[in-house]
Structure 1
Amino acid sequence: MARNLLAADWAVFPLRLKTLLVAVFLTGVTTFMFMPFLAVSLTRSGLSVGQAGICVAVLLCGQQGLGHLAGVLVDRFGTQYVLTGGLLVRVAAFAGLATLDGFVGLLTVCAMIGVGGCLVTLPIRVEFIGQDPAIRQRSLALRGAAVNGAAILGPPFGTLLLAADFRWVCLAAMATQIGVLLLLSRRSFRAGARTTRLPRDPRVTEAPQPSAFLLLKDRRTITLLLAAFTFWFGYSQLNTTVALAIVHDTGTEAVLSALFVANAVIVLALEYPVIRGLSSRRSSSYLVKLGMVSMSAAFAVLAMGVSVWVLAVFIVLFSTAEIFYSSSVDDVIGRISPPQGGGRYVGLLSLGDAAGSVSGSALGSTLFALAGSHDLTHTYWWGVAALIAAATTLFVLGQRHGTPDRIAEARS
């Protein structure tokens, strides 16, 4: 049944969207092929643990923290040019990662990988948000499935190449990104290019794109930023406090690895059919709320103690939260984004993702290090659950009493 629905939806998707879905999958495989092994490989190349950590942090900051700048570039030059530029930067960076050594050189290429990643992911996100509302949420769910499929295939492929040499991982990443470049350079893809700006009305000569200040005056924008921050604050714990506590309690990384695989498998198997079935019955705002409630419940359960059954319930709730939130929040953004400056708006909201991920990772790992044991982590997880629950309440109030759907209407 789900396969038939997928085939029916795929048939009505425009060619450009289908090509972007393939690009999302291939780029995701590239990322998951090298990221899990980057820090270890940098230390093997001669960097200290601290230097390797700085390189990874710079990469993540570039990838997550430059969304607003990438959005401005998308509005100025269009998704096609920005996406192509980002892929070229990544190809050059992977070449450098395979050949350079020394802290300065490796730090530079890690920064380039991060910047290139931002210039790739933001334009693709803008394209999906700009799809026809009739297919937008289904296409967003399929995008999530492509990412999680890549998360399952990427690490094993990277492990096989790493057995020979990390340079083979870099060369494979280069080849994949070149393949995506060739895919996106096809005339049939370029012919379907979209613009993030509506055709200019000759009667309106003084209608500048909304500034960040004006966007932040909209209550729905503020609540979306709050939702993004708290959701990704919680999500980042999977890589920090949750990972550290599991390894501390079990003494092995096998359970942690199984948790990551279970998360990817659950989301891959259920995201598309669940969102496909619910999108016609429930609003995307409602599904975002469900996702945040599920994320809060996941950490409330985890705070009761680390055991096999607790981890099983946690990962089901955590994956459910990812399914509801990730596919639905961009549909909400698409409904309330301004008619001009769509890239800038998406980039502004991506700062909430970045701020939540960075602060959650930093606070969680620092707390775990200062505590000397993981005992205080359980209290911290209760705090994470309470934070997300409070943000969910504010999100509900902000969506219920927010301004009109389009910020441009509030301007007029």
Structure 2
Amino acid sequence: MNTWRGTSATGRMLLLAVLLTGLTTFMFLPLLALDLTDQGIPTAQAGFLVGLLSFCGQGFSLISGMVVDRFDSRFVLAAGFVLRIAGYLLLGLGLADGTHMGALVAGIAVIGVGGSLLGMSIKTLLVRDDSVPRREMLALRSTFVNVGVIVGPALGALLYPFGFDYVLAACVASHLLLGIRLTARPVQAAPPAGSPTVASGRQVPGSGESWARWQWGPLVLVGVAYWAIYSQLNVVLPIAAKELTGSAAAISVVFTLNGALVVLFQYSLLRHVFRKAGTRTLLALGFLAFGGGYALLIAFSGWGALIAFVLPITLAEMLISPSLDEQAVRAGSLRRTGLALGTMSAAGALGSLLGSGLGGYLLGSLHGGGLWLLISCLSLAAAAFCFLLPKGSPQHA
């Protein structure tokens, strides 16, 4: 792959870090609720603990972005690895000590905060890497994340019969080795903040494209809308998939197919098909794909409808997710890259919270085609709203 060969040594290590941290995260995350309930913890408390992990990860993102901008990259990376390792150890201690709730809460909160620091610092360093165009770097990052989503649960399932402690030990070992590897050598620094270009001639984030503060409002709203719609895959779709097919395993098929498609086509789609498209065009096309996917469920049912639904939904994810990050980086300055990305992650946290709450309510109020029609209409409205964003020019840096 040309982009991989052209990526700097530091960029390659960061992408491998994305892969390995994703693998370990999805090794233990699907098993966490299962092990908690097996330990005798009530399902309500188990649900709270799993939700706490997501809240601390996404909710801390805005602060993480500011920390990344303010402090040395190696320090932030080291802090993220240390917190994650400490969190895994606390979680293991809580489970071993008669399910001590204090240790469990502390461990899960620390894992979430550490993951936020890690994810934000790695993403910021990747978009500051000038060795390849920014859009292609973000596409590669998304591909590596989804490899972890697919492979991680399988690795966790292989280790789980030996005990959940083995899963946590694998997480600790991988983070320890990776942390030493990434922080023991200097992390590639970004070009000086006052430099409009780098030696390669590519633009860097924020060069010549300063936004007014009010223009952040539409971008944040687009981010909230994306995650509110996307969160229905975790709220409404698991129930709807079972009703459509009669199989409780249907939602697993959806996520497996979704992840596989992203891994196979994310990079090629943005590198070859939409290379010259502006980000707001990609965002609008993504929301149109969302609308089309949910519209399919209005008139059709069964496995065929569910598989057909996955295709436009995956297309929407591949277009919108990296485009939001690219648009956010463009809107900020080089010194505030972390803050820009953190703002979009915070918008994602808010959108997920709103989408989960509204999705659960609407599932009980609307039935069948009415719910899908509403989501489709919201998607079309979001597509139109994307054109309130500044047009700018297609980014190749």
In structure 2, relative to structure 1, the CA distance for the partners of 1:398 and 1:251 (3 Å cut) is same
In structure 2, relative to structure 1, the CA distance for the partners of 1:366 and 1:54 (3 Å cut) is farther
In structure 2, relative to structure 1, the CA distance for the partners of 1:69 and 1:151 (3 Å cut) is same
Deviation at 1:287, TM superposition (A): 1.6
* In the alignment, structure 1 residue 327 sits paired with structure 2 residue 322: yes
Q: Does structure 1 retain, via aligned residues, the 8 Å contact 2:88–2:172?
A: yes
Alignment of 1:7-406 (within 5 A): 8-100=2-94, 101-132=99-130, 135-187=133-185, 190-194=186-190, 198=193, 217-219=213-215, 221-368=216-363, 370-371=364-365, 376=367, 378-400=369-391
| Same amino acid, percent of matched pairs | 31
In structure 2, relative to structure 1, the CA distance for the partners of 1:18 and 1:399 (3 Å cut) is same
Aligned length: 378
Deviation at 1:359, TM superposition (A): 1.6
TM-score, L = length of structure 2: 0.88
Tell me the distance in 2 between the aligned counterparts of 1:359 and 1:67: 17
Q: Does structure 2 retain, via aligned residues, the 8 Å contact 1:25–1:147?
A: yes
The residue type equivalent to 2:213 in the other structure is K
Query: What does the per-residue CA deviation read over 1:76-123, in whole Å, with 9 as the maximum and x for residues that have no partner?
Result: 113322222111111111112222122232122111111111111111
In structure 2, relative to structure 1, the CA distance for the partners of 1:78 and 1:390 (3 Å cut) is farther
Q: Does structure 1 retain, via aligned residues, the 8 Å contact 2:69–2:339?
A: yes
The residue type equivalent to 1:20 in the other structure is L
Deviation at 1:318, TM superposition (A): 0.7
Q: Does structure 1 retain, via aligned residues, the 8 Å contact 2:283–2:386?
A: no
Tell me the distance in 2 between the aligned counterparts of 1:389 and 1:48: 41
TM-score, L = length of structure 1: 0.85
Q: Specify every segment of 5 or more residues in structure 2 that has no aligned partner in the other structure, as ranges.
A: 196-209
Tell me the distance in 2 between the aligned counterparts of 1:377 and 1:65: 33
Alignment RMSD (CA, Å) = 2.5
Tell me the distance in 1 between the aligned counterparts of 2:312 and 2:244: 21
Q: 324-333 or 116-125, which moves further after superposition?
A: 324-333
Tell me the distance in 2 between the aligned counterparts of 1:248 and 1:392: 29
